[in-house]
Amino acid sequence: MKKVSVVIPAYYEEEVIKKCYDRIKENLEKLNDSYSYEMIFVNDGSKDKTLEILEEIANLDKNVKIISFSRNFGHQAAVTAGLKYVTGDAIVIIDADLQDPPEVIPEMIKEWEKGYDVVYGKRKVRKGETAFKLLTAKAFYSTLNKLSNIEIPQNTGDFRLVDKKVVDVINELPEHNKFLRGLFSWVGFNQYAYEYERQERLARKNKISFKENVEACIRWNN
């Protein structure tokens, strides 16, 4: 039986983390015993109840594993750590705040079964994003694509399904600070854009600063 691993970075997500687990589980259960699965939550140094809630969940569900950082290392570091521990044939990266709808996971698996190695989520409409965020995201990607030889698809975050062989290549790369969506474009393979509608954030405010985005971009281009 094939196995699906889901990697979920979480930073100060106490309000939504249980709901996130429930929604992801519900959608993995829809796969009707055709696949086994694991959920790897990465607590990125949250000091709220995120870890406590995750531990309660993991005590009851053997499919749940937790990695917990001693301090905040940032979203990309959290996902990178999760990727090191996956044991599945297909790996899904999804945010904990439910902006990426878990209902898309079974659809991504269908595309993977057709032979795509990377099925990346491409955002149709950005609900609840501020005009500033939309403008800076656009400026970010157009600058990035001008600076680098590799085209990074616009309106695309880290939400995606990736075949294990692609994750193995990413894990072999020597960079300590990985800009994952750049590297996933760079490694090639057979890629498919799955269009979906990104949701509004349910709980706390956005935690990834403009500074972190720019730093990740600069690191990637060095």
Residues engaged in binding Mg ion (CB under 5 A)? 97, 99
Measured from the CB of residue 199, what is the shortest distance to Mg ion in angstroms?
A: 9
Nearer to ligand UDP, 167 or 180 (CB): 180
Binding status of residue 9 toward ligand UDP by CB under 6 A: yes
Binding status of residue 75 toward ligand UDP by CB under 6 A: yes
Measured from the CB of residue 209, what is the shortest distance to ligand UDP in angstroms?
A: 9
Nearer to ligand UDP, 9 or 102 (CB): 9
Binding status of residue 11 toward ligand UDP by CB under 6 A: yes
Helix, strand, coil distribution of the chain in percent, nearest 5: 40, 25, 35
Which residues, other chains included, contact 93 with Cβ-Cβ below 8 Å and sequence gap of 6+?
6, 7, 79, 82, 83, 158, 159, 160, 162, 180
Which residues, other chains included, contact 188 with Cβ-Cβ below 8 Å and sequence gap of 6+?
none
Task: Choose the stretch contacting ligand UDP; rule: CB under 6 A; options: 24-32, 80-88, 171-179, 200-208.
Answer: 200-208
Helix (H, G, I), strand (E, B), or coil: what is residue 204?
A: coil
- Identify the residue among 25, 40, 57, 74 touching ligand UDP (CB under 6 A): 74
Measured from the CB of residue 99, what is the shortest distance to Mg ion in angstroms?
A: 4
**Binding site partner of 112, from Mg ion, ligand UDP, none, Cβ cut-off 5-8 A by kind:** none
Distance from C-alpha of 125 to C-alpha of 134, rounded to nearest angstrom: 11
Pattern of binders to ligand UDP over 80-119, x per CB under 6 A? Answer: ---------------xxx-x--------------------
Distance from C-alpha of 74 to C-alpha of 44, rounded to nearest angstrom: 7
Helix (H, G, I), strand (E, B), or coil: what is residue 151?
A: coil
Measured from the CB of residue 172, what is the shortest distance to Mg ion in angstroms?
A: 29
Binding status of residue 206 toward ligand UDP by CB under 6 A: yes
Tell me how many degrees the CA angle 195-198-202 measures, rounded to the nearest 5: 160
Measured from the CB of residue 78, what is the shortest distance to ligand UDP in angstroms?
A: 4
**Phi and psi based region of residue 152 (left: phi greater than 0; alpha: psi -120 to 50; beta: remaining):** beta
Report helix angle 50-60 to 17-29, nearest 10: 30
Residues engaged in binding ligand UDP (CB under 6 A): 9-11, 13, 44, 72, 74-75, 78, 95-97, 99, 157, 206-208
